[in-house]
Amino acid sequence: MSAVLEHRVDRLEDALEAFTRSVGVEFNKAYNGQVRLQQEMLAFKEEMRVFKDEMKDFKDEMLDFKNESLRYREEAERDRKSMNRQWGDLANRLGTLVEDIVAPNLPRVARDLLGCSQPDLFGLRLRRRFNGDSREYDALLVCPGDVLINQTKSRLISAHVDELLRVLSEFPQVFPEYADRRLIGVLASLYPDQSIVTYATSKGVLVMGMGDETMDVLNPSALGTGD
């Protein structure tokens, strides 16, 4: 082999070796890049999986929240209806306050304050015709020497005292058979204001209110007062 040819062969081998090394470097770069890409894709897929799980948890929480809100609305509606029924029951009970609370205590009041253990008459919601009209009394208790005339109000005001005094003034004409007996007015309310009790006392009118256990006369001294 001539020197020129040998030189060319050497150069060709060097070029081939350089090319091989270059291809190897590029291949390694490409391979490493592909590996990194695969790793990044795997990381991205993992992030997406975590995100999907978080979204599922969020959707589950939102569903729970919606269900809880629905239960709350349903409970609120039930509570509202129950409260309306209770208010209705209370309104009805106020309408029967005299029968349920006041009336059972009137015989005790007559016994303790008047010594009347055997009333001649004890009635509720008594009505009698008078001068072409009618008069109604919440409760009436007749003793041998006295007559208790009760009016019961959900809330007492001073005008109720004056109204009861007018009732007392005409009572002998409405019930002439009891005209010879002392008339005692009794106003009853669950929790009367003290100013009304004071005013009623000055007019000789008894006031009953709720005590620790039952209805009590708040001003027994009124029996010795009055205009």
What are the pLDDT digits (tens) for 4-35? 666 666 676 776 677 677 766 676 776 777 77
C-alpha closest to that of 103 among 30, 211, 208: 208
Of the ranges 8-17, 97-106, 210-219, the best mean pLDDT one: 210-219
Who has greater pLDDT, 84 or 71?
71
Q: Residue 35 — left, alpha, or beta (φ > 0 → left; ψ -120 to 50 → alpha)?
A: alpha
- Looking at residue 162, its pLDDT comes to 96
State the Cα–Cα distance between residues 44 and 5, nearest whole angstrom: 57
How much is the pLDDT for 179? 93
**What confidence tens digit (pLDDT) does each residue in 103-136 have?**
889 999 999 999 999 999 999 888 999 888 899 9
